[in-house]
Amino acid sequence: MPVIEVTKLRKHYGATVAVDEVSFTVDAGEIFGLLGPNGAGKTTTVECVGGLRVPDAGEIRVLGLDPQRDRAALRQRVGMQLQESELPDLIKVWEALDLYSSYYDEPADWRLLLEELGLADKAATLFRELSGGQKQRLSIALALVGNPEVLILDELTTGLDPQARRDTWSLVERIRARGVTVVLVTHLMEEAEYLCDRVAIIAGGRTVAIDTPAGLVARAGTGERITFRPSEPVDAHLLAELPGVTSVSWHQSRLVVTGSGDALPAVTAFLARRQIIAHDLRVQQASLDDAFVELTGRPLQDATNGDTP
């Protein structure tokens, strides 16, 4: 049985339809991503899943419970790390953890969480004196203090430098290794590709596609892109007939061949038979970026920038 089931979720704020029709399921132990531009409806979706907002329509089940009807029971079993922390500036790290653990029937030992999150030496530090990365780690610790079975993380690495981002990713992997099911909201393609077992692409309040990152890339159908400068003239028509090759074009002195995984061995064998050397040979795999464009009609970055006030 899936841990989370969302069916035809709809939510509007006044005239704004934040979530038009979103459906997905999350299995136990998965890291499941909601990927989409700013304003796509991801936060509203997870807030409905966590029982913080009341949907206008649709069905949600989390661990078999209804987030509205069974709110109290669900709060004990679901941890939420939200985009903005509500903590007062003058609270100390240990005080925040102690306070949050008092909300739960069976809290984790927050001292161990501090160790695990690399915050042990910050226990007595005021919230306002933490760096961005430390605040993020504290917000994850607070979401974990109730020993949740499901952890919801909303834009957890936004604003972090690349090293802090990588550290946070390995932390999420360790949390999942303990059996926690993770739902991750992100507008970072790289984050979704690196961390998520499956990804739902959300655009304009709707689920556009759900698959593994590799499955989404395969759907985009662009495959591999091989480029090189041949040492001698090559007949592009002959290359186009090779197995796995879908297109061949010249870009000044460089040949660009696209195709499936069979294309590269076929092209290299073809060149070797004619004793042609492929200078500056580059092979690029299609990425989740390509898949996003294919599925939504525009790049994630454009979509994100376009919707940012």
Binding footprint of ligand ATP on the chain (CB under 6 A): 13, 16, 18, 36, 38-44, 187
- Give the single-character DSSP code of 88: -
- Which of residues 156 and 266 has its CB atom nearest to ligand ATP in the complex? 156
- Which of residues 61 and 187 has its CB atom nearest to ligand ATP in the complex? 187
> Shortest gap between Cβ of 41 and ligand ATP (angstroms)?
4
- Which of residues 113 and 189 has its CB atom nearest to ligand ATP in the complex? 189
Other Cβ atoms less than 10 A from the Cβ of 230: the count is 17
Q: Which residues contact 113 (CB under 8 A, 6 or more apart)?
A: 97, 141, 144, 145
> Shortest gap between Cβ of 43 and ligand ATP (angstroms)?
3
> Shortest gap between Cβ of 206 and ligand ATP (angstroms)?
12
- Give the single-character DSSP code of 160: -
Q: Which residue has the tokens 């304009």?
A: 204
> Shortest gap between Cβ of 202 and ligand ATP (angstroms)?
7
Alpha carbon 179 to chain centroid, angstroms: 19
- Which of residues 16 and 285 has its CB atom nearest to ligand ATP in the complex? 16
- Which of residues 83 and 131 has its CB atom nearest to ligand ATP in the complex? 83
> Shortest gap between Cβ of 145 and ligand ATP (angstroms)?
24
In three-state secondary structure terms, 37 is coil
> Shortest gap between Cβ of 19 and ligand ATP (angstroms)?
7
31-35/198-203 β-pairing: parallel
- Which of residues 38 and 227 has its CB atom nearest to ligand ATP in the complex? 38
CA–CA dist 32, 254 (Å, integer): 40
Say if residues 159 and 137 touch (Cβ distance below 8 Å): no
CA dihedral 174, 180, 185, 190 (to 10 degrees): 30
